Structure formats: structure tokens, C-alpha cells
């Protein structure tokens, strides 16, 4: 069954305290100016698979909150909102997250933003695998930032993140492709 939700006054779907959920080919739509119109909010849940569809909302496409694990998202079109957000303060521990084969555009300068708490191990095991976010307008320069975490990059990641304070960046594969995209010399692991 195909589900479509239009113009929800708040988030469209909430998944709370669930053990296993599958969402296939969903369409969620809200105006880009609409606040608090998350597509899917997930909390205290283990095992969610979102497979295909379109989420076009003014806020987060998918919000993954505390107590959630084993969340997989495949073949989903998100926009114009904020994309996928993980975690909210009090501090949420985020680990073993891979963003893979993500291609799109950004109208703002912050194409990728990975912001972690200063508390010990708030984020660990973050991987960007073949992620390519380009500006929608040539006058906008896109950038990626990460704070208080370690990020592993596999393949071409554009724009490559600048991590602070002492994050570890690893270029695991495809040095030649990465160098061609960024016009930089081959990279080494940096500590």
C-alpha cells in the first residue's frame, strides 16, 4: 500500500518504542517554509528500514532520536528540508553510522554538518562513503564540517569535511578521484 501525507501541521510519521518497522515507497509533502514538519521521527526504536519514496518537507527528512539503533534508509529522495538528523541534547551517543551513495544539492553553504558533543565518545564510527553534495547555485560555496568526532571517508566525498578540534580524517579509497574533484595533492591520514 502506498502512503501519501500532505501538509501535516507537525511531523508526518512518528515511530516510538518499536521493535522493527518497514516503510516502503512513502510520499510525505509539506511547504519548504513550514517549521517542525519532520517527515519521519524515530525514537527508542530498534530496527527500522525506510526503502524508497519521497520526503519533501520544511524540516528534517528523517530525525533519528535517542535510544534508536539499526536504522537503514535506502533509495529515498529528500528535500528541500534539512536531510537526515541524528541525535538531540541531553547528549545522545551516536555510533557506527554510514552515509553511503548520497548525491544531491544544497542551497546553503553547509552541505554536510556533523556536530557532536564534547563529552567523551558522543560520536564514534562515522563514515562518509561516496557522498557528493554540490551547490544549487554557482555563487554558493558549499562546505562540510565536523566537530568532536572521527570521520572516515571512503571514495569521493565532496565537499570534504574540515574537522575540529582534533578529529581523525582517513581517505580510505579512490585517492585519484578525490584529488581530481578537490584539485588537491594526494592526502594522507591526519591525526
Collapsed DSSP state (helix, strand, coil) of residue 155: strand
Residue whose entry in the numeric block shows the C-alpha cell 533509495: 75
Ordered alpha helix ranges (H), 109-183: 175-182
| Residue of higher predicted confidence among 118 and 185 | 118
User: How many degrees, rounded to 5, is the angle at CA 73 between CA 72 and CA 78?
Assistant: 155
Catalytic: which of 82, 93, 174, 177? 82
9-28 per-position pLDDT tens digit: 889 999 999 999 999 999 99
Exactly one of 12, 38, 41, 59 is catalytic; name it: 59
pLDDT value at position 120? 67
Of the candidates 154, 155, 153, 151, which has an alpha carbon nearest to the alpha carbon of residue 167? 151
Q: How many CB atoms lie within 10 A of CB 145?
A: 16
Give pTM, 2 decimals.
0.69
Catalytic residue status for 49: no
Amino acid at each position: 500500500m502506498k502512503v501519501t501525507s500532505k501538509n501535516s501541521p507537525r511531523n508526518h510519521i512518528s515511530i516510538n518504542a518499536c521493535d522493527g518497522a518497514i516503510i516502503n515507497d512513502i510520499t510525505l509533502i509539506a511547504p519548504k517554509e513550514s517549521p517542525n514538519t519532520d517527515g519521519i521521527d524515530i525514537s527508542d526504536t530498534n530496527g527500522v528500514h525506510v526503502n524508497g519514496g519521497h520526503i519533501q518537507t520544511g524540516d528534517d527528512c528523517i530525525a533519528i532520536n535517542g535510544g534508536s539503533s539499526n536504522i537503514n534508509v535506502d533509495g529515498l529522495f529528500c528535500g528541500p528540508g534539512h536531510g537526515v538528523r541524528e541525535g538531540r541534547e541531553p547528549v545522545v551517543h551516536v555510533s557506527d553510522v554510514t552515509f553511503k551513495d548520497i548525491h544531491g544539492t544544497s542551497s546553503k553553504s553547509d552541505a554536510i554538518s556533523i556536530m557532536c558533543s564534547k563529552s567523551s565518545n558522543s560520536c564514534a564510527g562515522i563514515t562518509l562513503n561516496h557522498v557528493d553534495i554540490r551547490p544549487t547555485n554557482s555563487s554558493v560555496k558549499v562546505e562540510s564540517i565536523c566537530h568532536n568526532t572521527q570521520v572516515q571517508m571512503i571514495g569521493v566525498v565532496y565537499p570534504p569535511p574540515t574537522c575540529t578540534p582534533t578529529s581523525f580524517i582517513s581517505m580510505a579509497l579512490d585517492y585519484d578521484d578525490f584529488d581530481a574533484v578537490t584539485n588537491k595533492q594526494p592526502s594522507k591520514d591526519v591525526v
